[in-house]
Structure 1
Amino acid sequence: MPRLKWGMIGGGEGSQIGPAHRLGSGLDGLFEFTAGALDHRPDAGREYGRRIGLPPDRAYGDWHEMLEGESKRADKVDLVTVATPNATHFEITKGFLQAGFNVLCEKPMTMTVEEGEEIVRLAQETGNICAVNYGYSGYSLVRHMRAMVARGDLGKIRLVKAEFAHGHHADAADADNPRVRWRYDPKQAGVSAQFADCGIHALHMASFVTGQEVESLSADCVSCISSRELEDDAMVNFRMSDGAVGRLWTSSIAIGRQHGLTLQVFGEKGGLRWTQEQPNQLYFMPLNERLQVIERGEANLSPEADRATRVTIGHAEGMPLAFANIYTDLAEAIRARKERRSVDPAANLYPKAEDGLRSMAAVFAVAKSGKEEGVWVDARPPMFR
């Protein structure tokens, strides 16, 4: 079976996220890295693209050049990944969707709710795939959590507790570091800093695992380093569509925390706990029974977990493997469309444009609630109310 053709915008030399995408997309031999506009400096982007194996005529100087060039080709790319600065996501994603390409966009998908709704409508109208890279949903045991909840192992879900807290921006002396400063500048980051950067990953995972959407929320947002205009710590309470209660803490000043993405789900018949820094174990406590440790790769897991397991039991699972599962899902979805067949249900788990829109609506809801001393606000996008 010939490999699908993949292109990337952004993610150039020195990028934090670019290598994870290139590793993830190529891991299963389903995609061939064919085209790219990898740097905001055209010559540097072309040179770096050629250096890492792109054909010279498909190492582009910018995304406009790539869109024009790929649109003219009979062998144009099947999927474009957008890994550029946040403020550019909307126009690039919109441009490629309109031109008939499938897109995987880094989060946040857009900077406003209105832009998000436009992307959702455009994906629906064109029939093109628009995915958003909430890559942590690619971990095999996160998918097993989702399967356990769906088949009723926990009974009705009562409470979800999500965290994404780290301490890497805790040094006040680092306030003028350009790599840090922009994140707390409304002109560059928008209405939210820490919640928009990390909190939405935890919020998406809460919805992904429970199958419920966030309907309303109340937020307490603070700038613990006083020079920052946007929050570096937030506590968010939320209510979900099937009655679950949610608690979410996100922080960038929690010294001693490294990554900090953790999800706990509590139902009538049991509870689950998973943390991204120890992704090989899922802790399950059935009501009135002993604690069970579910190991990634063991027998008798769900089809969703089995499909997402890459290495044998006892070996470490990493972020690029989770990204690879998103790309494997997308390859299945693209091939299914080409072959006019249904998508494998165990693969139809990649985060979609609707997820990106719901996240952006939550960002604005948190910002509004935080400014109004925790007032409860509707967290749904207008088009989903």
Structure 2
Amino acid sequence: MTKLNWGMIGGGNGSQIGPAHRIAAGLDGLFSFAAGALDHDADAGRAFGRSLGLAADRSYGDWREMLAGEAARADRVELVTIATPNATHYEIAKAFLQAGFHVLCEKPMTVTVAQAEDLVRTAAQAGRVCAVNYGYTGYALVRHMRAMVARGDIGRVRLVVAEFAHGHHANAADMDNPRVRWRYDPAQAGVSAQFADCGIHAMHMASFVTGQEVATLSADFASCLAGRVLEDDAMVNFRMEGGTVGRLWTSSVAIGRQHGLTLQVFGETGGLRWSQEQPNQLFYMPLGQRLQVIERGEGNLSPEADCASRVTVGHAEGMPLAFANIYRDLAETLNAAREARKPDPAKTLFPGAADGLRSIAAIHAAVVSAQNAGRWEDARPPMFR
């Protein structure tokens, strides 16, 4: 199979997310890192790209230069990953989609609902994939949770409890650290900080696993560090379209919590619990029976879990491998289209533009709710109501 050419915008030297994407895209040998505009400083971006092995003429100074350069090539990149600050996602993603490139955008996909709806339409009109990197849905046991819920192992889902709390922004001395400061700056982050940055991962995972979308929500936001315009802690209650009740807590000031992404799903006949910090175990409690521990890589799991596992049982798999499953899903989708065949349904679970849109709508609904003492708001985007 011929490798797909892949390019990246953002994720430069010192980036938190850039290395994870580069490891993930290259892990299965399905993509070749061919082009990049990796830094807001043009010279630094070009130099870093060359240090990673990019050809000098494909290590670009900015995304516009990359768009023009790649569009003119017969061996142009087929997929472009956007890993830049939130406020830039929409303009870059739309430009590349309209030029015929497939896009994987970091979350949040945009900063406004109107922009997100426009990207959904743009991708459809262009006939191109616009994926959103809710990368934690790539974990094998998250996908197994989804399969267990879908086949009725825990009965009708009654309640889902999600958390994404850490304490890495709790130090007031870091207020002016550029890697922290931009997340609480409305000009760069949009209308929400912690909920848009981390909480939305947990909310999307709740939808991914239960197969239900969020319909309404009620939110309480707090800025625990004086001087922050946007929230660093949030509690969100939500109701899903299938009747499931949802509870979500997210925080960046929870000292002692490291990553803190967890999901619990409680149904009529059983419950499930998974934590990103211990991703190799899924805890399953059937009603009236003993607790079972499902291990990643063991036999008799779902096809979705089996094909998302790369190493034998008992060995740790981490976040870059979960991201790699998103890239593998995208490669399967793009190759199937090129080969005029149906893609493997167990390998096409990547979140799309519609998921990104629903998340943006939920973010804006939560902001309005928090500004109105927790008033319940419709969390659905207008185009899906």
Q: TM tier, shorter chain?
A: over 0.9
1:182 Cα deviation after fit: 2.4
Report the counterpart of residue 167 of structure 2 in structure 1. 167
Name the counterpart of 1:352: 352
Q: Structure 2 matches for 1:161-310, cutoff 5 A?
A: 161-310=161-310
Hey, what's the Cα distance between the residues in 2 that align with 1:187 and 1:55? 34
Equivalent-residue separation in structure 1 for 2:102 and 2:177 (angstroms)? 36
In the TM superposition, residue 264 of structure 1 has moved relative to its aligned partner by: 0.1
* Cα deviation, residue 230, structure 1: 1.2
2:9 maps to what in 1? Answer: 9
1:60 offset after TM fit, Å? Answer: 1.0
Contact 2:137 2:322 in 1 (8 A): yes
Shift of 1:343: 1.5
Deviation at 1:339, TM superposition (A): 1.3
SS in structure 1 at match of 2:293: strand
Secondary structure, in 3 states, of the residue corresponding to 2:91?
helix
Letter paired with 2:253: I
Hey, what's the Cα distance between the residues in 1 that align with 2:281 and 2:369? 35
What residue in structure 2 maps to residue 365 of structure 1? 365
Indicate whether 1:95 and 2:118 are aligned. no
How far residue 179 of structure 1 moved from its aligned partner, in angstroms, is 2.5
Alpha-carbon shift at residue 57 of structure 1 (Å) = 1.4
Shift of 1:178: 3.0
Distance 2:91 2:129 in 1: 16
Which stretch of structure 1 is more off in the superposition, 167-176 or 110-119? 167-176
Alignment correspondent of 1:379: 379
Please give the secondary structure, in 1, of the residue aligned with 2:249: strand
In 2, Cα distance between the equivalents of 1:157 and 1:266? 6
Paired AA for residue 280 in structure 1: N
Question: Bigger CA drift: 295-304 or 34-43?
Answer: 34-43
What's the RMSD between the two structures over aligned residues? 0.9
In structure 1, distance between residues paired with 2:206 and 2:216: 14
Aligned residue type for 1:238: F
- Equivalent position of 1:58 in the other structure: 58
Q: Deviations over 1:222-262 (max 9, x none)?
A: 11223212111111000001110000000111111000000
Q: Which amino acid aligns with 2:146?
A: R
- Are residues 1:143 and 2:143 paired? yes
Separation in structure 1 between the aligned mates of residue 183 and residue 29 of structure 2, nearest angstrom:
36
Compute the displacement of 1:58 (Å). 1.0
Q: Secondary structure at the match of 2:351?
A: coil
Aligned counterparts of 1:19 and 1:180: Cα–Cα separation in 2: 18
Distance, in Å, in 2 between the alignment partners of 1:178 and 1:23 is 25
Structure 1: distance between partners of 2:290 and 2:214: 31
Letter in 2 for 1:183: R
User: 2 CA distance for matches of 1:217 and 1:30?
Assistant: 40
Q: Which AA in structure 2 matches 1:203?
A: M
Q: Counterpart of 2:118?
A: 118
Greater shift after overlay, 285-294 or 4-13?
4-13
- Letter of the aligned partner of 1:226 in structure 2? A
| Per-residue Cα deviation, 1:34-58 (whole angstroms, up to 9, x for no partner) | 1111111111111111111111111
Post-superposition offset of 1:341? 1.7
Normalising to structure 2: TM-score of the pair? 0.99
Question: Aligned-pair distance for 1:312?
Answer: 0.7
2:32 is the counterpart of 1:35: no
SS of 1:250's partner is: strand
Conserved? CA contact 2:164–2:259, under 8 Å: yes
Q: Which amino acid aligns with 1:52?
A: L
Query: Counterpart amino acid of 2:26?
Result: G
Residues 87, 187 of structure 2: 8 Å contact kept: no
Unaligned regions of 5+ residues in structure 2, if any?
Answer: none
Q: Give the superposition deviation at 1:175.
A: 2.5
Runs of 4+ in 1 over 3 A off after TM superposition: none
* Map of 1:127 onto structure 2: 127
Task: Name the aligned partner's letter for residue 198 of structure 1.
Answer: C
